[in-house]
Amino acid sequence: MAEKAAHITSSLQAKPSIFELIAQESLSGLLYPSFKIIVQFLESSNSQRYQWLSEWNEEVFLGINGLLQLHYLNTKGASFSESFYGLCREHHGENPRLSDKAKYWSLFCLVVLPYLSRKMEKYVVKFENLKVGKAAIVCHKVSVASWQCVSLVQYLRYLTGRVSAHSPLLSVANLSLQYSTEQDSHSYTWREGFSSPRACARLVSDGLTHGLQLAAFFLQCLQWYHSDQLSHDKLSNLIPHPPVAEEINMLSPAQCPVCKEPCRIETVLMTSGYVFCYRCIREAIISRQRCPVTNLPATLDELIRLYPNK
């Protein structure tokens, strides 16, 4: 009876939702951009000392990310982002724990593949003007689109319950993500933590782990803040301030609304329909990216030259 009950309990255990899986992948994708921001800050503070770090930032991040992911795979059985969301990797077999082969495959997918992908994108952009580069761009786009289609199909199969892994890379190694059942047993006191070198090392490791998770939380908060601020700025651009109608109505149709002089090289702005001097409206758009009368967003491509005397 106990064996049957255990089997029923394990079979009824809820699997991670698609939102949790996407969230942990999003967190994993934040690591390299955050590292680049730190590198740029260090370079701006002392360019001579940290110039090498800027030149070799991808290789340095490769080493740091490799050590980070290896630590979490050995201690938590999951990557850094997966552990943050309470997930772990399980092998579908007699022993669900990660084998050394599964850890090496996971480390390759978490560290080496993103590094190679960033390098490939750099080379594609660098040689895009060459004939060989154009062919490489086409191959790169086809490969990226194919991989996205395969990943989408895998997501759909995961949602319908046909597969246990949401990622093709996990399916290749017969792995899947499950909720971690590991319970924290940190009931020792600070005095016990410093009683022996082993306990002290464990205390430091736990402190670093929780510190990294706290840093990840702040990274997500910053991402949310910047995305919210960006959307607010975009919405604010769609609601321009009302134009000063009195000043514009006092001008004659032949006068430029900017310099208040007769229009020279008459140019109409498609966004608002007002006619300006070409030099006045060009300088206004370059400096403000808006129509000087209606405050609507505008670009230089929306200028049309008029030829009234012809």
CATH number for the domain harbouring residue 282: 3.30.40.10
Q: Which residues of 182-219 are buried (b: 16+ CB within 10 A; e: fewer)?
A: eeeeeeeeeeebeeeeeeeeebeeeeebeebeeebeee
What pLDDT, on the 0 to 100 scale, is given for residue 224? 63
Spatial neighbors of 264 by CB under 8 A, at least 6 apart, are: 256, 277, 278, 279
- Considering the domain architecture, whether residues 152 and 255 belong to the same structural domain is answered as no
Q: In angstroms, rounded to a whole number, what is the distance separating the alpha carbons of residues 123 and 116?
A: 11
- Write out pLDDT tens, residues 58-73: 999 999 999 989 988 9
- Considering the domain architecture, whether residues 177 and 252 belong to the same structural domain is answered as no
Q: What angle do CA 250, 252, 257 make, to 5 degrees?
A: 75
pLDDT of 236 above 70? no
pLDDT of 184 above 50? no
Q: In 3D, which of 148, 110, 105 has the Cα closest to residue 31?
A: 110
The β-bridge partners of 290 are 297
Q: In angstroms, rounded to a whole number, what is the distance separating the alpha carbons of residues 243 and 69?
A: 56
Q: Is residue 1 in some structural domain?
A: no
- Considering the domain architecture, whether residues 284 and 156 belong to the same structural domain is answered as no
Residues making up the chain, counted from first to last: 310
Q: Helix axis angle, 197-238 relative to 57-75, nearest 10°?
A: 120
- Considering the domain architecture, whether residues 284 and 146 belong to the same structural domain is answered as no
What pLDDT, on the 0 to 100 scale, is given for residue 60? 92
Last residue of a domain, one of 138, 154, 182: 182
- Write out pLDDT tens, residues 239-285: 555 555 555 556 677 788 888 888 888 888 888 888 888 888 888 88
With cut-offs at 50, 70 and 90, classify the pLDDT of residue 131.
Answer: low
- The predicted model gives 175-184 an average pLDDT of 76
- Considering the domain architecture, whether residues 272 and 165 belong to the same structural domain is answered as no
Domain containing 252 equals 245-305
Torsion of CA 61, 31, 177, 140, to 10 degrees: -70
- Write out pLDDT tens, residues 190-206: 455 455 565 555 555 55
What pLDDT, on the 0 to 100 scale, is given for residue 227? 60
- The predicted model gives 228-234 an average pLDDT of 54
With cut-offs at 50, 70 and 90, classify the pLDDT of residue 97.
Answer: confident
**Across 26-30, 100-104, 147-151, least confident range:** 26-30
**Alpha helices in the chain, H assignment, sequence order:** 2-11, 18-45, 51-55, 57-75, 80-84, 100-107, 113-126, 131-159, 168-172, 190-193, 197-238, 245-249, 278-288
Q: Is residue 2 in some structural domain?
A: no
Sheet hosting strand 303-305, strand order edge to edge = 275-277, 266-269, 303-305
* Position with higher pLDDT, 96 vs 298: 298
Q: In 3D, which of 171, 110, 119, 165 has the Cα closest to residue 140?
A: 119
Torsion of CA 140, 57, 111, 71, to 10 degrees: -170
pLDDT of 187 above 70? no
Q: In angstroms, rounded to a whole number, what is the distance separating the alpha carbons of residues 84 and 184?
A: 14
* Position with higher pLDDT, 42 vs 74: 74
Q: Is residue 93 in some structural domain?
A: yes
Q: Is residue 142 in some structural domain?
A: yes
- Considering the domain architecture, whether residues 138 and 283 belong to the same structural domain is answered as no
What pLDDT, on the 0 to 100 scale, is given for residue 61? 92
With cut-offs at 50, 70 and 90, classify the pLDDT of residue 1.
Answer: very low
Last residue of a domain, one of 141, 164, 182: 182
- Considering the domain architecture, whether residues 269 and 146 belong to the same structural domain is answered as no
Q: In angstroms, rounded to a whole number, what is the distance separating the alpha carbons of residues 32 and 71?
A: 18
What pLDDT, on the 0 to 100 scale, is given for residue 185? 45
Q: Is residue 125 in some structural domain?
A: yes
Helix (H, G, I), strand (E, B) or coil at 15: coil
- Considering the domain architecture, whether residues 164 and 254 belong to the same structural domain is answered as no
Last residue of a domain, one of 160, 182, 204: 182
Q: Is residue 239 in some structural domain?
A: no
- The predicted model gives 118-130 an average pLDDT of 75
The β-bridge partners of 178 are 88
Other C-beta atoms within 10 Å of 241: how many? 8
**Across 26-30, 51-55, 68-72, 205-209, least confident range:** 205-209
With cut-offs at 50, 70 and 90, classify the pLDDT of residue 30.
Answer: confident
- Considering the domain architecture, whether residues 21 and 143 belong to the same structural domain is answered as yes
- The predicted model gives 169-177 an average pLDDT of 89
By the 10 Å C-beta count (0-12 exposed, 13-18 middle, 19+ buried), 178 is classed as: buried
pTM passes above 0.75: no
Q: In angstroms, rounded to a whole number, what is the distance separating the alpha carbons of residues 5 and 152?
A: 35
What pLDDT, on the 0 to 100 scale, is given for residue 9? 42
- The predicted model gives 111-120 an average pLDDT of 90
- The predicted model gives 81-103 an average pLDDT of 84
What pLDDT, on the 0 to 100 scale, is given for residue 305? 83
